[in-house]
Amino acid sequence: MDCYIYTTGDQLFSNMVRYFQPRFFLFLYLWILFTDVIFGLKKLQSQPLFWMCFSLVIFYAISLPVFATLNYMVEKDYRAAHNLYNIILVLNVARYFFAGISFYLLGISKVKLAEVKA
């Protein structure tokens, strides 16, 4: 698998987006996590929003320093940069695993709600 990181030219903008996007989403999901989920009255393990925010906070908190150092690593040692990029692949698996837990809990809550209404 190739790592497409541009160090010069017009494509450098895509690297800046990869650096600023995690920062924006990290603060957004931390804000949602603290205001809506943690200060709520329900248990955290049963809230789908908690698992969704948790997965995204973990992903963006770890990917932020990875993408911040990736351009430097490409210039110095491409092989190390490629191995560093593999961390993102593992983070994607973890992110979607926790998102799956979130959707599963959401589905359970909808079924319980439908049973109560019936």
Q: Which of 93, 111, 108 is nearest to 47 (CA)?
A: 108
Q: What does each C-alpha distance from 46 to 30, 53, 55, 65, 105 come to in angstroms?
A: 18, 13, 15, 31, 7
Q: What is the pTM of this model?
A: 0.67
Q: Which of 56, 1, 70, 72 is nearest to 23 (CA)?
A: 56
In contact, 67 and 20? CB cutoff 8 Å: no
What tens digit of pLDDT does each residue of 52-104 get?
Answer: 888 888 888 888 788 778 777 877 888 888 888 888 899 999 999 999 999 99
For residue 45, what is the DSSP state?
G
